[in-house]
Chains A and B, each alone.
Chain A
């Protein structure tokens, strides 16, 4: 087992952002982490990275508790986040060189050029990051995410700001990594079609709790409480989001 989360809770004062969730990720799985804004997806990922300390519960990655040996764990995983940016005055190449060194990548120049080609931004290598478009910044984040050839990838909305063609390219890269290297991927997204095409299994969150988990059809049946024959994740999402909003307003 690559990831084992047990009873994970995060409280900010009286507000529970994540409420006693438990889940496992096996080697080579691509698992979708879904839910409306404020469901607790990003907080969960940040706790897995050790950027936020949990109030209760444990996170074990590669068999080690994140609280005990965060640095060794982080050497073997990577992540992307729409909340993170890069120093704007540094060029694309300079930024990736810094991160290649932080992750101890061997032959960083070859690796960086390979990733820049793969994500279609090789021509921008000498451009300052502040002059990149949102989509180009997302691609740069993905290059950083793949730098150390991670065994576990935590992707928080990895295709946000990307055009459909680039999003397909990212999806193909993820599936190739899973096939060739057995990479485990946790994929947080609001794009239900993309999630359905990419993920083996889904975890649906609302108000910090896991409200359903399983394959797309299992999640559809659990949440809609109907015996559907085909997955309807868009419908599921709208259903959960409306209930989520209603509960927030009634509080």
Chain B
């Protein structure tokens, strides 16, 4: 792995952010809309519930926004290459797939962090919810969310490599599919009993359960962090294996040079 090639991929997508208003919208507009809409909703709820509820919901909005934008941008970054017919030039260069994914990871972490900080500032200014003192407690759970987002991004990219744009809808929709079972805005115990084991197998559930425990003053949840990281490692390995298989299958079928 050559660091200068990872930097080149990062640079390529930073140029894209500067030139493509859609990326700026995804990075800044939607996080702002997210926090504004949900912020007002939580103010409404605050009149009827506890202050912890408001904090939990706002923190959940911010962290879900980070997870959603990160996993979406991993796949959309690759789709950008496909739409611009740049894949042939890119993969005909010495760039390895690992370096390409590392470059995308770097640029999307920067983008997701910028969106998250903007959301957190709006939450502070408009709703007096300060997430920054809790940031340290949230870091392990954010790390788990990023790792899971990466695993999903890799798997979706692999599917697009092999089955081309038929699967591009997953780039935007996959996080939405997981949301109901990830217990983002409500605790795990509020799910029907038969769905709990499924939710337990999602790293996102453990991140949001751990976040709620920290906000409620229950401290750092080692159990949720460990479950989250173990599941993340398993999903990451599975997605890496699937990606390798799908990429080689695409290369064998000549799809890298005829992808549309």
Q: Which residues of A contact B (CB under 8 A)?
A: 10, 12, 17, 43, 46, 49-53, 70-72, 74-75, 79, 81, 83-90, 94, 97-99, 101-104, 128, 144
Contacts and interface: CB of A to CB of B under 8 A. Distances in A.
Contact of A94 (B15, B90, B256): B15
B92 A98 contact: no
B95 A84 contact: no
Contact of A99 (B20, B88, B89, B251): B89
Interface string B1-25: 0101101110110011001100000
Contacts, number: 98
Contacts of B86: 84-87
A12 B7 CA distance: 36
Given A86-B86, A90-B16, A102 B94 contact: yes
B93 A74 contact: yes
A46 B254 contact: yes
Q: B interface, how many residues as a size bin?
A: 20 to 34
Given A49-B92, A84-B86, A101-B11, A128 B251 contact: no
Main SS of the interface on chain A?
mixed
A101 to B, nearest CB: 4
A84 B85 contact: yes
Contact of B80 (A50, A87, A94): A87
Contact of B254 (A12, A71, A85): A12
A87 B94 contact: no
Contacts of B93: 74, 99, 102-103
Nearest to A47: B254
A196 to B, nearest CB: 28
A98 B254 contact: no
9 contacts: A43-B254, A51-B91, A51-B92, A52-B256, A72-B94, A74-B94, A83-B85, A89-B15, A98-B11
Contact of A88 (B84, B253, B256): B84
A98 B5 CA distance: 9
Contacts of A53: 248, 251-252
Contacts of A88: 84
B198 to A, nearest CB: 38
**Nearest 8 CB-CB pairings of A with B:** A101-B8, A89-B19, A85-B85, A84-B88, A74-B94, A87-B84, A98-B12, A75-B94
Given A51-B257, A85-B84, A103 B94 contact: yes
B16 to A, nearest CB: 6
Contact of B89 (A94, A97, A144): A144
Contacts of B95: 71, 102
Contacts of B9: 98, 102
B4 A104 contact: yes
B96 interface: yes
Contacts of B19: 89-90, 128
Nearest to B80: A87
Contact of A83 (B12, B96, B252, B257): B257
Contacts of B81: 87
Contacts of B257: 46, 51-52, 83
